[in-house]
Chains A and B, each alone.
Chain A
Amino acid sequence: MASRQSWITMKRCHLPCCLTVIVALFLTMSVGQAQARRLTPLRLSPAPALNAEKCEQHGAQPVRAAARGGQRRQQGQRPAQESEHRPQPVRTYYFNGHQRLAQIEAFVRRPDGSIIQPTLQLGVKPNLSFPTPFGEGPGHGANNVYLLEQGVEDHVLVVRSAQWLTMHHSCGWGHDHKFDMERTQPQALNTLPLEIIIADLWDSNFHAKVTSGQMLTITALSYGKPLIGAKVQLQTAEKWVKEVVTDKNGSASLQLIRDYYPTKWSDFKRTKRGKFLVTAFYEAEEQGVFKDMEYERVRYITTLPWHYSPARADYSSYGLGLMIGLLGFTFTGGGIYFYRERRKKPYRGISLDE
């Protein structure tokens, strides 16, 4: 009897708890499904996507480099970052994933203004590649790489794009284009629904020049025209995030954080490249049909990864420099002065005092 009562008591007590757990599980699954449906932005990179960024469709195999910490690269594998002074005959960029039903295409705007279509390979390691022949030619300078994916999801046309900027240059080809802005600055592609342009990425010697603490001017363009009210977000590899909204010129300014503080000065690397990702979002109330699927709104999202180095002021000193220069000047000037003064004195011969 006692055991039956206790069972009823238990039943009375546990039933609401179980229901709560079931509801919670259901809600969690729904949120998870909604999150799964929310697309991650497309991103291009010179190295294959890491395990955490596996393709949504195929589920990429874990990359060995990622298993080792993602720092070292395998023999023959391309480095995760490019150099403006190490041209490659073929450029290959990997992207993090794509939708099964979406339309996907890629373009490269070369420095001379011509547009080429790279070879697009979808699958476990989705990538695009295009030739960049050595020497002076239409590819010498800043090449803009674009990946554009469009698809309807839940009556929303999602337009995801990814940008990559690469400087195809070697000092051996000369610096004839150093004052040619078409070659040293990324140009806009008027056929893209959303594009990010960051001003002053390279100096006239084709060196990347973005440094920590620098004020960045980012412009959002839609079909080559300034886009007002677009959200622009900058996120560093250290997870520092800042979001701004574009003004009437389609531009937004934000100051890049200084986030490199090695424990010991001997660990400081002048050439250390911090990475950041600029993402621009925009939504428009537009109705239409895309590939026989109706949509009520359009959501645009684009990404542009870039990098920055420690600012020169972090590791240089004008005070010390001027002090040493002044020291050299004073010692030389003083030396000459005293040398001349010494020569002015008459010769003192040895005289015999009898």
Chain B
Amino acid sequence: MSKALKSFRRAINNANLSRFRFYFQAASFVLLVYGGYLAINIGDQLPTFGCIFTEHRGGSCYLFGLQHQMATPWKSYLSGRGIGILVGLLTFFAFFIVFNKAWCGFACPLGTIQDWLTALRNRFKVRYGNYSEPVFQRLGKIKYILLALLILIPMGMGNSFFGLPKLNHDFGVPFCMICPGRTVLPLFSGDFSQLAIDLSSKTKMIFTALGLLITGIFLAGSFIKKRFFCLFCPMSAFHYIFAKAALLRLSKDGAKCTRCGNCYRACDVGIRAIADDLEHKNIVKDDCMMCFKCVEMCPEEGCLKVKFLGLPIYESTEEGFFKRMQGHNNAK
């Protein structure tokens, strides 16, 4: 390896990724919430929460389209509409395969809002909260239940299950109705309309009331618990189905790990396996948002690595760890 390349890699490994992430998140937020003002529209199959209810968005979440498409009658799955569903899924996959779950850590506007609330809590010097491991494991299953429901409920609109009557159209996009992204993100473009309860039908009333109740819980919860909502996010569960095929990976060399627990303490979501798992090389778990704070906080040379197409692009080093710690202490 040439000297220039070595020094370049050293500079990268010593870099403060969290600072880069902060700016990247801000830029993504502007792009996804205000992109429309610049006539930018990345698409409606994004693996992140750019909300379709935001009028001048630059792109929107795939879950809306997925729920919309799932209301298709069985016979139409094999027609042109089936091709439409497949195209939507492939587009989502094309976006996802490159950055893996880093969409959550670096681009999700709802995640960014949670990080801002965390920063606000730090400013007020309020202690953060965390779940015990059994509670964490139990709560983590909720996102899979939500994912199943957001597929099954729209399916029940287009089809009859077990001879039961079809669900009415007020059940359309059920997850969006309870997602805090729908209520919070439009506020940033001056649209307060999503804060109202829809009283036009019982179903709509229940869904919108539930959505606002969850919004209240989201705001209070995110203030205390870092990345509070990510543990329940069905998009995170959907990501995990494809995560093994993604090009960006987080790998761990168990032989180099001393189980100091720094990575676990740094993890905003609170994934214990990042410290405990010494066997698996691919360490991306279903709750991981690939913020790479664990890599930053790991003092062991090459123990944690961020790889793209198998090539390491950022890895833990002793020098980088101490440099970041020094910068952190100076900032305090």
Contacts and interface: CB of A to CB of B under 8 A. Distances in A.
Contacts of A324: 197, 209, 212-213, 216
A328 B41 contact: no
A143 B221 CA distance: 49
Nearest to A312: B193
B41 A176 contact: yes
B216 A326 contact: yes
A316 B217 contact: no
Contacts of A332: 216-217, 220-221
A320 B36 CA distance: 31
Contacts of A331: 216-217
A270 interface: yes
A325 B41 contact: no
Interface residues of A, number: 34
Nearest to B192: A318
Nearest to B44: A175
A321 B84 contact: no
B170 to A, nearest CB: 9
B216 A312 contact: no
B93 to A, nearest CB: 17
Interface residues of B, number: 40
Nearest to B36: A179
B44 A321 contact: no
A174 interface: yes
Contacts of B127: 340
- Most chain A Cβ neighbours within 10 Å, of B183, B209, B223: B209
Interface string A263-300: 00000111000000000000000000000000000000
B220 A328 contact: yes
A178 B216 contact: no
Contacts of A205: 52
Interface in B213-234: 213-217, 219-221, 223-224
Contacts of B216: 324-332
Interface in B53-67: 55, 65
Contact of B212 (A171, A172, A312, A325): A325
Contacts of A237: none
B204 interface: yes
Interface string B125-136: 001010000000
A325 B195 contact: yes
A54 to B, nearest CB: 36
Given A312-B196, A325-B215, A179 B39 contact: yes
A178 B65 CA distance: 16
B36 A336 contact: no
Contact of A320 (B41, B183, B197): B197
For chain A, what secondary structure do more than half of its interface residues adopt (helix, strand, loop), or is it mixed? helix
A204 B43 CA distance: 14
B195 A321 contact: yes
Given A175-B41, A317-B197, A321-B195, A328 B36 contact: no
B145 interface: no
B68 interface: yes
Contacts of B209: 320-321, 324
Nearest to B38: A179
A179 B36 CA distance: 7
Contacts of A333: 220, 223
B68 A336 contact: no
A336 B197 contact: no
Contacts of A338: none
A261 interface: no
A322 interface: yes
- Most chain B Cβ neighbours within 10 Å, of A203, A268, A325, A340: A325
Interface in B73-93: 80-81, 84, 87-88
A178 B55 CA distance: 10
B7 interface: no
B158 to A, nearest CB: 14
A204 B200 contact: no
Interface in A176-211: 176, 178-179, 203-205
Contacts of A174: 43-44
Nearest to B196: A316
A327 B36 CA distance: 34
A23 B213 CA distance: 76
A326 to B, nearest CB: 6
A270 B80 CA distance: 30
A347 interface: no
B201 interface: yes
A203 B212 CA distance: 25
A325 B88 CA distance: 33
A136 B44 CA distance: 16
Given A270-B201, A270-B204, A336-B224, A329 B41 contact: no
A329 B184 CA distance: 14
A316 B212 contact: no
Contacts of A340: 127
Nearest to B193: A312
Nearest to A270: B200
Contacts of A326: 216
Interface of B: 36, 39, 41, 43-44, 52, 55, 65, 68, 80-81, 84, 87-88, 127, 129, 183, 192-193, 195-201, 204, 208-209, 212-217, 219-221, 223-224
15 contacts: A172-B84, A176-B41, A204-B36, A268-B200, A269-B200, A270-B201, A316-B193, A317-B196, A318-B195, A321-B195, A330-B216, A330-B220, A332-B217, A332-B220, A336-B220
Given A174-B43, A316-B200, A336-B129, 20 more contacts: A172-B84, A175-B44, A178-B41, A269-B200, A270-B200, A270-B201, A312-B196, A315-B200, A316-B197, A317-B199, A320-B199, A321-B195, A321-B197, A321-B208, A324-B209, A324-B213, A325-B195, A325-B216, A327-B216, A332-B220
Closest 10 CB pairs of A and B: A328-B216, A329-B216, A332-B220, A270-B200, A316-B196, A315-B200, A328-B213, A172-B84, A325-B212, A333-B220
